[in-house]
Amino acid sequence: MHKFDRFLPARVTGALWAALTTLLLCQPAHAQMFEPKAAFADTKLYFTAPLRWDRTDWLYFGSTMAAIAVAHEFDGNVRKHFVADPAAAIGTTDPQGTRDALPMLALAAGTLASAALVHSKDGYYETGTMLEAGILTAASTTLFKYALGRERPHETLQVDSWFANGDSFPSGHTSLAFALGTVFAESGSDRYRWIRRGIGYGAAGLTAYWRVKGNAHWTSDVVAGAALGFTTAQFVMDRRDHTHRQVTTSVVPVDGGLALAFSLPLN
């Protein structure tokens, strides 16, 4: 197979994400969605986070690696479940890459459209959180893909074909879907929390299922992608909430002099 065909799903996903990013940044309320200075600071903290992990963080990391390892044990069996003749599938492409990106794009586009319709600052803020989480997830996913070079199940019969110029691990569709889905699920009012979680995690889970069913990824690819997208989204939400809620101070004139004022958002 030609190299272009091998990386076609990643190219399609990247093109769709670039189009969405352009759309978001062109909106009048972009300042409420995305602050470049804060995002750059978050990026530095994101990629250096392991240097500051505590015992609990490393425990979570170990648990995630264990889950990926368990999924890896079933990679071959799951492929056989969905693909009757794995050998005959070698050399095929991924025709459903665009379709599998639709759930995550629908979440982001729907959130933005809803915010624009009712002029919701919270909606714009949520969309900005999706954007930042998606960008960081896409960057880290790409780094892992190129570093590990695992071949996809339609490229090899070997489950452990690593460092072979592949781009299977982790699943980019799944990591992005869980990044956006987690932001959608955990944002907004608690009154609609279970509805949001059902939609957000449901869309992400559907994406992961489609990627395995379509023989585009191994099971461990989507488990790793889900973990990466989820944790990245949690990081971005924590960072943006901290920045959004931080105390601001100012000096204001009053009768007889000046006064030091401060404010702290309560919602």
Token digits of residue 189: 């009012």
- Residue 186 neighbours by CB distance under 10 Å: 18
Q: How confident is the model at residue 93 (pLDDT cuts 50, 70, 90)?
A: confident
What is the rounded average pLDDT of the residues 23-43? Answer: 68
pLDDT of residue 24: 56
Q: What is the 3-state secondary structure (H, E, C) of 162-217?
A: CCCCCCCCCCHHHHHHHHHHHHHHHCCCHHHHHHHHHHHHHHHHHHHHHHHHCCCC
What is the rounded average pLDDT of the residues 220-224? Answer: 97
pLDDT digits (tens, 9 = 90+) for 132-168: 999 999 999 999 999 999 999 999 999 999 999 999 9
Question: Considering the chain, what is the average pLDDT of its residues?
Answer: 84
Q: How confident is the model at residue 39 (pLDDT cuts 50, 70, 90)?
A: confident
Rounded Cα distance, 200 and 182, in Å = 6
**Residue at token pair 């955990």:** 186
Q: How confident is the model at residue 2 (pLDDT cuts 50, 70, 90)?
A: very low
Look up residue 159 and give its DSSP letter. Answer: T
Decide if pLDDT at 238 tops 60: yes
Token digits of residue 103: 């759930």
Q: How confident is the model at residue 244 (pLDDT cuts 50, 70, 90)?
A: very low
**Residue 221 phi, psi dihedral angles, 5° rounding:** -60, -45
Look up residue 52 and give its DSSP letter. Answer: G
Higher pLDDT, 121 or 179: 179
Token digits of residue 20: 């969405």
Look up residue 152 and give its DSSP letter. Answer: P
Q: Which residues contact 216 (CB under 8 A, 6 or more apart)?
A: 9, 94, 96, 97, 100, 152, 153, 154, 171, 173
pLDDT of residue 13: 53
Q: How confident is the model at residue 96 (pLDDT cuts 50, 70, 90)?
A: confident
pLDDT of residue 247: 40
What is the rounded average pLDDT of the residues 164-185? Answer: 96
Rounded Cα distance, 171 and 166, in Å = 12
Amino acid identity for residue 114 in this structure: S
To the question of pTM greater than 0.75 for the whole model, the response is: yes
